[in-house]
């Protein structure tokens, strides 16, 4: 199980994310800042909207305790609509946990309300 599997599986409890993210986690996404509690709130919202999700890593660069990805997230929502978002993310790591993410998202497919899937709480 990866952090993204846990995040995008509505059957997995939000509490499971603590195994992947540090308690002092910070996320900057599309002009918004989320701390660990805000991220968990975002995860709850995301899980309430989707029935399934899948991540495809298109690029991955790793250097020491930093990683960068360009990945696509595909989701199926409870209302039957699909969405696909491209994400460019810079990760900071400490041990086996993610401590910070700087992220930009771009809606490739979906409705206008899906534009904020990466940051809505």
Instruction: Give the whole-angstrom CA distance, residue 121 versus residue 119.
Output: 6
> Considering the domain 3-14+23-116, what is its CATH architecture?
Roll (3.10)
Instruction: Give the whole-angstrom CA distance, residue 92 versus residue 87.
Output: 16
Taking only the tens place, the pLDDT of each residue in 87-114 is 999 999 999 999 999 999 999 999 888 8
Taking only the tens place, the pLDDT of each residue in 6-44 is 999 999 999 999 999 999 999 999 889 999 999 999 999
Give this prediction's pTM: 0.90
Phi then psi dihedrals of residue 12, to 5 deg: -85, 135
- Confidence band, pLDDT 50/70/90 cuts, at residue 119: low
What pLDDT, on the 0 to 100 scale, is given for residue 10?
94
């Amino acid at each position: 199980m990866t952090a993204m599997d846990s995040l995008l599986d509505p059957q997995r409890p939000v509490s499971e994310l603590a195994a992947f993210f540090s308690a002092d986690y910070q996320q900057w996404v599309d002009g918004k800042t989320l701390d660990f509690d805000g991220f968990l709130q975002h995860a709850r919202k995301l899980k309430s909207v989707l029935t399934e999700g899948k991540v495809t890593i298109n690029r991955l660069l790793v250097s020491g305790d930093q990683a960068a990805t360009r990945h696509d997230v595909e989701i199926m929502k409870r209302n039957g609509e699909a969405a696909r978002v491209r994400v460019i993310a810079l990760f900071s790591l400490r041990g086996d946990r993610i401590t910070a993410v700087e992220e930009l998202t771009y809606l490739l497919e979906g409705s206008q309300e899906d534009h904020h899937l990466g940051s809505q709480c």
